[in-house]
Amino acid sequence: MDSWTVLDTAIIPNNGGELTLSQCDDEFSISISGVSGELMNSCYFGSEEALSELGCEHIKSEENAHVLVGGLGMGYTLAAALREVNDTATVTVAELIPEVVEWNKGPLGECAGNPLSDPRAKVRVGDVAELFDDEKPAFDSILLDVDNGPKGITHKDNQWLYSLSGLKAIYNTLHPEGMLAIWSAGTDPLFLIRLKKTGFRVTMRTVKEHNGGGRDHTIYLAKKSTQVYF
């Protein structure tokens, strides 16, 4: 039987618990204390790639596009975003937990092709919410792969991102016709209502956990359609 080796642990701020990074041969796993099962596995990343593909589709050829990725995870969302945009783009990734950045600079980074080594990738260690500016639109796409989606399990402060006030801040941070794409483990009708109330034009896409199968995940695609600021 293959055995797993614990490589490192990390404390989630504000009593969010502890993350554990483990490895078995070429497979990596991240789990969280107090929650059964894995939080992430390096073999299952199809929906993370779909998040970037759908969220960046409108800026494939746009010059000097700026993408914000909320949550580094195992690097698959960042790697896919870099593939979607051209050589003039910048992709900023915000990650709350410093150890997760270090894991992606080490052996874990090889799983997604070491996206942090791409010169277009910029890392911001801290809460992604700190990058939302009501006064100055800055991003063409915002891709949120934070926690478990609108019904998070790891960090209670993440709930603000999915509240009306958080969504308004995100709306104002996007350029006109900008796209907010959100990864979610499932659907949430109340969250859909909040997105529409904020002013977004919203569609939902169901994607598979990995190519050809796995669990269904949801991608919310929310497009900013006006220049009205809250």
pLDDT tens per residue across span 104-145: 999 999 999 999 999 999 999 999 999 997 778 999 999 998
> What pLDDT score was predicted for residue 229?
46
Mean pLDDT along residues 215-225:
92
User: 150-187, pLDDT tens digit by residue?
Assistant: 865 444 556 888 999 999 999 999 999 999 999 998 88
pLDDT score of 30 more than 60: yes
CA 51 to chain centre: 8
Phi, psi of 198 (to 5 degrees): -70, -25
Tokens encoding 87 = 């050589």
Task: At 196, list the tokens.
Answer: 């529409």
Q: Percentage of the chain surpassing pLDDT 90? A: 76
For the domain with range 44-223, which CATH number is right: 3.40.50.150, 1.10.10.10, 3.40.50.300, 3.30.450.40?
A: 3.40.50.150
What's the confidence (pLDDT) of residue 37? Answer: 74
Helix axes 76-84, 46-55, angle to 10 degrees: 30
- Nearest to residue 96, comparing CAs of 67, 68, 130, 119? 130
Give the residue with greater pLDDT, 15 vs 212: 15
Q: Residue ranges of the domains in the chain?
A: 44-223
Q: Across all residues in the chain, what is the average pLDDT?
A: 90
Instruction: Please say if the pLDDT value at position 230 is more than 60.
Output: no
pLDDT at 157: 58
pLDDT at 153: 47
Give the Cα separation of 112 and 132 in Å (integer): 27
- Please tell me the predicted confidence (pLDDT) of residue 226: 62
Please report the pLDDT score of residue 148 as a whole number: 67
Question: How far apart are alpha carbons 95 and 75 in whole angstroms?
Answer: 11
Q: Which pLDDT score, from 0 to 100, does residue 156 have?
A: 56
pLDDT at 193: 95
Please check the confidence at residue 54 and state whether its pLDDT lies above 60: yes
Name the pLDDT band for 76 (thresholds 50, 70, 90): very high
Mean of the pLDDT values across residues 72-91? 97
Of all residues in the chain, what percent carry a pLDDT higher than 70? 92
